[in-house]
Amino acid sequence: MQLLLSTIIFLWMATAGAQENATSGQKVCQSTSDCSGGEYCASGLCALINCANWAVSTPAGEMSFSEEPCIAEGAEEGEAFCGTDGSCYEYTCENWYQFGPAAFTGYDTATVVELQCDDYADGAAENQNSVVFGCRPYQPGSKAPEAKTWTHFFNQKCSAKTPSGSDFSCYQNKPNTDYRDFQGELARLNLNSCDRDLFDNEQPLYWYIVQMQHTVNKVTTKFGQGRDNTASGSAFDASAADKTMFAHLNDGTFVAGEETDSGSSSSSSASRRWSRNNLGWGIIMVAGAALFLS
């Protein structure tokens, strides 16, 4: 029994020493509230909020893709996302396909399939909405009523057949798109106010659509918060229009109307944090059980 107790003490001291060495001056944390300003809780240790850290250690309950670390690096809200390689990227089909989460792009670094982008003239027919001027946004695939809204449609489509057999499609506006026709047509609309009983805003706004989703076994999941992530403003912003995008990874079972809004979180960081913070207690529990059985 004395030998067993000595073993328990030795293992506990070794684990504590290893954890102390692992921190290297970093503060141990259970949540981001334990960390200083500009830091977040990354796998049980406080780390600076930047894309390089975020990409390898996403906070438990947060999305692996996020704008937050890019904003911390100086980007404006809605301007860039944190890529899988630890760098921030503007919203384009090319960037999202290569550096967005693979579950929503199908991109495989081991078998790279190039993304093909071409002019797209069917935006109006397929309701591929890019910018909507009106009292509310209308997501791609939803027809905006012409009497109450005016819509600029995506004019470029990018696609790839992924190694898994799924189809990746992404819609965006071509570089140097001229939005003057879109703005000129607004003059014919007599849309001056919005019904406060139906809408939060009194005046119509420009809504800039950014939406990513995938379909697996007939269930379509939107990445992020769908409409909540749609930017809006009272004056037209060509730069914001350039960053609008709609991406869809489809395994071939897509059925319109069966969408499910969802965020995407990383369970791996939570499991790593549990392992590091609870390894010592796990050793004690196992050894204690052995002592009891002896």
User: How many helices (H) and strands (E) would you count in the chain?
Assistant: 7, 15
Q: Is the pLDDT of residue 269 over 50?
A: no
Q: In whole numbers, what is the pLDDT of the chain averaged over residues? A: 77
Q: Locate tokens 């027919």: which residue? A: 125
Q: What is the pLDDT of residues 91-113, one digit of tens each?
A: 999 999 999 988 899 999 999 99
**DSSP β-bridge partners for residue 245:** 172, 210
- Enter the tokens of residue 263: 């965020």
- Of residues 32 and 98, more confidently modeled: 98
Using an 8 Å Cβ cutoff, are 23 and 253 in contact? no
pLDDT reported for residue 159: 97
Q: In the structure, what pLDDT confidence band is assigned to residue 219 with cuts at 50, 70 and 90?
A: confident
User: Residues 124, 129, 133, CA angle at the centre, nearest 5°?
Assistant: 105
Using an 8 Å Cβ cutoff, are 118 and 169 in contact? no
pLDDT reported for residue 3: 46
User: Residues 12, 58, 239, CA angle at the centre, nearest 5°?
Assistant: 165
Burial bucket for residue 127 (CB in 10 Å: 0-12, 13-18, 19+): middle
Phi/psi at 101 (5° precision) = -65, 130
Q: In the structure, what pLDDT confidence band is assigned to residue 4 with cuts at 50, 70 and 90?
A: very low
C-alpha–C-alpha distance, residues 24 and 193, integer Å: 58
155-180 burial code (b ≥16 CB/10 A, e <16) = bbbbebebeeebbbebbbbeeebebe
Burial bucket for residue 227 (CB in 10 Å: 0-12, 13-18, 19+): middle
